[in-house]
Amino acid sequence: MWVFTGLGNPGRRFLFNRHNIGFMVIDYACSQLSITKTVQAHKMLIMHTRVENNEIMMIKPLTYMNKSGQAIKQFASAYGIAPQEFVIIYDDLYLPLGKIRIRPRGGSGGHNGMESIITTMQTTEIPRIRIGTKEVEVILSETYSDYVLANFSKSELDIVHDTLECVYDSMVCITQNGLHTSMNKFNKK
């Protein structure tokens, strides 16, 4: 079973921040699928559903981004989920807006949420989907935290919507065909 895990910060003020694109993906996926059960437990929101005959879970840690690992470790222990069964979905400041990169493992790349998960789970063997949030022509004169906690601009919203669709399609592909097939198909876009 796959556990698709969107990273973000809880609360309305963070809803459309660049840092919350992982939450946005989970919300979009929930709008496309019939959710059979929703539970709030282990410091997270847990949604159960099926993609064709495959059971999946989608989760949103309700800790703040930098403590995502705490919730995920509790969840993994409670449900008996191995790190390799998670697919962590999060923003990547260094990828151009709309680009996605699917990987079976790797370091945090400076992302505090992913660093928390790697440290807490004690492995880098955790699949992930990184979503680019960098404006192509922007030079980062702001601090990183100000930039990632800023909302997407109105001019970026069409790209964001297309990206949510693409990531959702990659989740379906992972569920049906596996991680490597999805990597071959979606990393080229």
- What would the pLDDT profile of 41-84 be if each residue is shown by its tens digit? 999 999 999 998 899 999 999 999 999 999 999 999 999 999 99
- What would the pLDDT profile of 102-160 be if each residue is shown by its tens digit? 999 999 999 999 999 999 999 999 999 999 998 755 545 557 777 788 889 899 999 99
**Domain that residue 176 falls in:** 2-186
Mean pLDDT, rounded, for 20-48: 95
What confidence score (pLDDT) does residue 189 get?
A: 57
CB atoms within 10 A of CB 57: 20
What confidence score (pLDDT) does residue 188 get?
A: 73
Number of domains in the chain: 1
What confidence score (pLDDT) does residue 134 get?
A: 83
Question: Is residue 174 exposed (0-12), middle (13-18) or buried (19+ Cβ within 10 Å)?
Answer: buried
- From 19, 111, 161, 180, active-site residue: 19
What confidence score (pLDDT) does residue 142 get?
A: 57
What letters, b where the CB count within 10 A reaches 16 and e where it falls short, cover 26-54? bbbbbeebeeeeeeeebbbbbbebebeee
Phi, psi of 173 (to 5 degrees): -65, -45
More confident residue, 153 or 25: 25
Distance of CA 74 to the CA centre of its chain: 18
User: 111 an active-site residue?
Assistant: no
Residue 88 belongs to a domain with what CATH number? 3.40.50.1470
